[in-house]
Amino acid sequence: MAGILYGIGVGPGDPEMLTLRAVRAIKEADVICLPKADKYECRAFQIALPAVPELKYKKQ
């Protein structure tokens, strides 16, 4: 199975500063990879969640 791996940074920590391209890539992703096993303990997840609420339903 072939796919595309995107590395998405959450910027300085403000959800409103995520780029439109980053939000679109997160929304279109089938699976997300985070630097912590528990997504609710991951700071990057907490920053992106307000900008992409459907993120909590993505397969990790």
**Is 7 within the bounds of a domain?**
no
**Is 10 within the bounds of a domain?**
no
**Is 27 within the bounds of a domain?**
yes
Cα gap 45→39, rounded to integer Å: 6
Asked if 23 contacts 52 with a C-beta cutoff of 8 angstroms, the reply is yes
**Is 3 within the bounds of a domain?**
no
**Is 50 within the bounds of a domain?**
yes
Region 8-14: mean pLDDT is 90
Region 39-59: mean pLDDT is 93
How many residues are given for the chain? Answer: 60
CA distances from 5 to 14, 30, 40, 41 (A): 24, 11, 22, 23
Q: Which range of residues forms the domain containing residue 37? A: 15-57
Q: Enter the tokens of residue 7.
A: 């590395």
- Residues 6 or more apart whose CB falls under 8 angstroms from that of 30 comprise 58, 59
| pTM greater than 0.75 (yes/no) | yes
User: Residue 19 carries which side chain, given as an amino acid letter?
Assistant: T
If pLDDT is split at 50, 70 and 90, which confidence band does 1 have? low
Total structural domains in the chain?
1
